[in-house]
Each structure stands twice: as C-alpha cells, then as structure tokens.
Amino acid sequence: MKLITTQNGVAEFMLSAQTTYTDPYNEVDVDAVFTYPDGSTRQVPAYWCGDNRWRIRFSADTPGAYSFSTVCSNPADPGLHDQTGSVEIHPYTGTHPLRKHGRLQVGHSGRHFIQSDGAPFFWVGDTWWMGFTDRLAWPEEFQMLTADRVRKHFNVIQIVAGPLPDMDVWDPRGQNAAGFPFQADFAGINPAWFDLADLKVAHLVDAGLIPCIVGMWGYYLLRIGIKDVQRFWRYLIARYGAYPVVWCLAGEAAMPYYLSDTPEEDAVKQREGWTEVARYVRNMDPFHNLITIHPTQKGREMVADPSLLDFEMLQTGHGGYAVLPNHTAMVREAVAASPTMPVVPAEGTYEGIFGGSWQDVQRQSFHLSVLCGAAGHTYGANGIWQMNTTDRPYGPSPHGRCWGHTPWKEAMHFNGATQVGLGGQFVHRFPWWELAAHPEWIKEPSDPANPGSVRCVGISQRLRVIYIPLLWDPPTVCGFEPAIAYRAYYHDPCTGTDHDLGAVTITADGTWKPPFPPEVHDWILVLESIE
C-alpha cells in the first residue's frame, strides 16, 4: 500500500480482517506504527468502519517518505496484523489556509495560537452543536451554512460528535439519517452515523474551517463509564485526528444531567472522570491536536489538573448587556490565571436568545474579549446551535423550557454574525499577539471591570487601539512618546469601514482630543505611528 499526498493532506489506508468478530469495536484494537523521515515513530490508531473493514488516516506537516507497519491486538489475524504501507508527502504550494499553515498550536507566549508553520491564528468561532444531525441536512443545507460562515470570515466551527445537550441520548432530535452515534445501551458505536459525519468534517476542512469536535455532553460520562468514554475517544482520534481539528473533551463537563437527583455528587464524579479522559486523550493522539473542555463557567475548573488542557474555554452567560460585566471579568481572570494558556470565550449570550442579545451585544462581547487578552472569540446564534427548521423547531429541553423556534436559515442572517466576522478581520490588521493594555494613554479614568469603559491596548511607539463602547464624547489621548508622530482613523465595527482623521496634532499639554465620529454608537479609534 503506497499513497501520495501533500503536507497537511489526509492519506487513508484500508484494512480487511480475515477473522470474524462478534463485537469488532470492543474486541479489537489496531494501530499503525509510522516511521517518520527522521527515524522517529508514532503510533496511529485505526478505526473500525463496519463489517470486516478498518481504516488508517494519516497526515504530516513535513514533506518526506513515511512508512508504517500495523499491530493488532489479535496477532493471529493476518488482515489486520503486520500489514505494511507507505505515504509520500509532497510540499503544498497552494493557498488553502489549513493545507498551507497546518493545525493549531500554542504560540511561544503561551497566550495565543499559531499554526504548524508559525502563522498567527486568531480564533473566530461559530456554534453548531447539533450540526451532525439531520436537522442540518447534507449536502445542500450544510454546504449553505458553511459557505455563509466562510463569507463572514469565521475560521472555527464547534460541533458535537456524540450524545448531545438539551436532550436524552435516544431523543430522535439527535439522529442523522443513519440513526444515533451509539448502539443501544452504549454497547458500541454506529459506524454509519460517522460515515455521514465524515462528509461534513471533510467539507468544513476543505472550506478552510477548523472543526472543534466536542466528544459528548459532560453528563453522559456517568451513564457510559470512564473506560468506555476513553474507548470512544480512541475512535474519534482514529477517525478525525489526521484532520486539522481541535478536541473539546465534553460540553458543560461537570454539569449534572438536568433532572439528576444527586447533582452535587454527579458534579464531583464528572470532574474526576473528565480529568482521566483528558489524560488519556493527551497520551493517545499521535497528531497532538489541541485539547480543551467546554465548561459551565471556566474550563480549568472542569478538571482536577488544568495542565492537561492546552487552552481554556469560558462560558460567560446568557442575557444581553447584563452579562457583559461577567464576560469581561471572566476573560480578565482567565488570562491572568496560572498555568498560562490561551483563553477563548466559547459560549456567550447567543444572538436572539430570550428575544434579545442582538448585534450590539455580539460585537461588544467580541471586542471586549480581544481587549481583555483572549486568543479568540466564539459567536453563537439561537436557532443555529440547535438547528431549528421551519417544520421541525427544536422544542423543549429536559427541564421543560424552550429556547426559541427561530429557524437556522433565518438566524444565519443575524447581523451579529456579520459584525463578529468583521471584528476578526479588523484584528488581523495588527500583530494582536503583541498588544498590551495601556490605560495610561487615556486621560479620563477607566474602570477595567466596567464593560462600558473606554479601553486602550497597543504597542509602544507603534500602535494604539482604543475601543469606545458608547461614543458620546471622545476620550482624550495622552502619554505620547517623544518624536513619534501618529495618524489616526475611526473604525466602524458595525460596517467594517474606516474614517480617516489624518495626522494627530498634539497640543502643548501633550494630549489630543479626537473629533466626533459620523454617528453615535461604539467605535474603535486607531493611532498608527508614521514612519
């Protein structure tokens, strides 16, 4: 078996068992030990894909010749054991962002993301929890939503590859055309369900979007059991680890089931269990995809050992402007916490939830994340996370409440998604990983805990970025460095347009008062040094 692909492309090898197995998912482990061009080896798990078939998926970011030999837990099966093959990885010369730059890594600062080749990466995510179900049909609907998010400059999609939130595991709302991901009583997996999910994962990657794959919602751990959850994660790693993905171990990991009779006891067990799963995934994944966990509030609180996580997700609350102080405080606390890691708000106040949280809240949440030091921000729309359709609104959760009936095709056009995407484009103008807080560059007092306060970040002698949540009276800029001249412009976060202010004229007292912008709403004032 020999294949040829380019760097960061996926090569796939097929194996056929010559022994008949009653329960192949649980009975048999197959691994391919790959030898790299430098002589090092990595053990890549294979996955059962139905009948007597197993597949190996492999990728590498370095061109060269790679070879493998398989090891089966049943060495008497010549179809699975001691099979050999090779793959030739050629350089990629195109412009596809994931093929060109590779999978996510943590940058040298420990606070930001880069890709395999060192390219900086700012996370602009969207939330499609139920996107693998038939509530988002393949191919037309899935491709439609993907294309929309690419046009709006998103680069990560959160999506669940196992039992879902806001329902019981056998709720028909969690099916795709092949049924459920698990067999009855969690006895094994349903490979046909994942065959359909494969199409969607590959399409996201082809579109330049990184799948953030959530294993399941956290409370299922107690029903499935730690060892079986670990086996399931082995399967996910084997099936999707060769793609440029991010692993999210579980959603709301330590949150008990909605109707649990022992919620406090469950929360403790779930935290302990997901810690074991985190350690297992870290040891199992040969591709070293980044690992995180979706929390009830802070990701590092979901496990006993935060060092098992590569970055921290936050859930900052639903409820419009009222949650922005909490959003601000949580991001600032997480960025300052130890161990240092990138921080990404992964669930905020979904646009449209409770009939509110519209685009003004969405763009302010985004820019507060950036200015408080986050490595990215995740948007969500009520109607999309649960994939409402016109004829199949999601309906009530187990607690009896319904989050809303807005169809995803309507929610797709909410203005907040556009403005968050524009925010991501704005951030990419600058070396955001070098930005530091500089409240001393604004004359008026600013309260860092108040989301309505003016915030200033920048790079000394080069750049000042000042976010003004409600621009009624522009702030006075001060603290100018000697012999450094600046030009300024207002950036409109609603439209993505700029309004040039020309050269900054510093007064005798060393300050500059910018003029009023074209209209009253939040604005971003940018000062760039003149070479």
Query: For residue 101, is pLDDT > 80?
Result: yes
Which tens digits make up the pLDDT trace of 58-77? 999 999 999 999 999 999 99
- Separation between Cα atoms, residue 415 and residue 429, nearest integer Å: 22
Which tens digits make up the pLDDT trace of 169-221? 899 999 999 999 999 999 999 999 999 999 999 999 999 999 999 999 999 99
443 and 478 Cβ atoms separated by less than 8 Å: yes
Q: How many CB atoms lie within 10 A of CB 344?
A: 26
65 and 91 Cβ atoms separated by less than 8 Å: no
Predicted local confidence at residue 478, as pLDDT? 96
104 and 246 Cβ atoms separated by less than 8 Å: yes
108 and 23 Cβ atoms separated by less than 8 Å: no
Predicted local confidence at residue 448, as pLDDT? 78
Ordered structural domains, the chain, with CATH: 2-90 (2.60.40.10), 97-433 (3.20.20.80), 435-529 (2.60.40)
Query: For residue 451, is pLDDT > 90?
Result: no
Q: Extract the tokens encoding 216.
A: 């399941």
Query: For residue 531, is pLDDT > 90?
Result: no
| Percent of the chain's residues with pLDDT above 90 | 96
Query: For residue 450, is pLDDT > 90?
Result: no
Q: Label residue 447 by pLDDT band (50, 70, 90).
A: confident
113 and 103 Cβ atoms separated by less than 8 Å: no
290 and 211 Cβ atoms separated by less than 8 Å: no
The DSSP 8-state label assigned to residue 413 in this structure reads T
Strands laid side by side in the 41-45 sheet: 2-6, 84-90, 64-72, 30-35, 41-45
Predicted local confidence at residue 233, as pLDDT? 98
Q: Full-prediction pTM beyond 0.85?
A: yes
Q: How far apart are the first and last CA of the chain?
A: 57
Strand ranges inside 252-389, DSSP E: 291-292, 312-315, 343-347, 376-378
User: Which among 350, 425, 409, 358 has a CA at the least distance from the CA of 382?
Assistant: 350
The DSSP 8-state label assigned to residue 452 in this structure reads T
